[in-house]
Amino acid sequence: MALTVQQMYDYLNGITEEKAALIIKGKSEGEDIFFKIYLAHDKYYLDAVKAVESNDIVHREVLDKEEKESFKVMIMDLMKEIDVEDIYID
């Protein structure tokens, strides 16, 4: 299910530890890259992985739950750096 950027931010505003992760699929330097966005242990996680089903994390950013606005800005900056192909719920 493809989401618009607005739908993605609406989902992030209501994200809980029980909700599924958001996935941003894109291209970076000509290669596919996936970003998993989720909440766990009262922290926001942004994991860069080579494949959605992989647990092989290439890069991870972690912010406290209280830093939601900073987390959203981080995601906006990320989306400017890659060629976004799709946004969906895992």
In DSSP notation, 26-66 reads EEETTEEEEEEEEEETTEEEEEEESSTT---EEEEEEEEGG
- Listed by start position, the domains of the chain span 5-89
Query: What pLDDT, on a 0 to 100 scale, did the predictor assign at position 4?
Result: 87
Can you tell me the distance from the alpha carbon of 50 to that of 17, in angstroms, rounded to the nearest whole number?
23
Q: Which residues contact 38 (CB under 8 A, 6 or more apart)?
A: 15, 19, 20, 21, 22, 44, 45
Express each pLDDT in 29-82 by its tens digit.
888 999 999 999 999 999 999 887 877 899 999 999 889 889 989 999 999 999
